Amino acid sequence: MKARVITSVLVVLLMGITAYAADVDGNWSGTVSGPMGDFPVAFKFKAEGTTLTGTTTGIDGSDVPIKDGKIDGTTITFTVTFDFGGMPFMLSYKGVVAGSQINMSGDAFGMPFEFVLKKDK
């Protein structure tokens, strides 16, 4: 009996977490400013509970999968690994979802950068 009560409480809590998770499903785009100028970025996100999956667009236009994606309330985190001629280049991202905008920060080789994504219509 006690195990059923604990299980029921856990199920209700998990449902609440899922209900509070940010709405990130869909296509998002923005621009990152760098030393060589601005360049466009695009992401396709899919939320499944507290797990974030999806893709971003690689330099060659191919889809690059999002890895280790997590959703915690309005905060998303994930990594992306690009392949530059056999050399992996990993970027870590963190974003805060606010309606149709995500304020993103990233890290490349210890150098932080920030940009804003807008939900595509």
- Where along the chain do its domains lie? 22-119
Class of domain 22-119: mainly beta
What was the pLDDT predicted at 4? 53
pLDDT tens figures, 23-35? 899 999 999 988 8
What is the model's pTM?
0.78
* Residue 33 structure tokens: 């400013």
pLDDT tens figures, 38-74? 989 999 999 999 999 999 998 788 899 999 999 999 9
φ/ψ of residue 65, rounded to 5:
-70, 145
Query: How would you classify residue 38: left for phi > 0, otherwise alpha for psi between -120 and 50, otherwise beta?
Result: beta
What was the pLDDT predicted at 42? 95
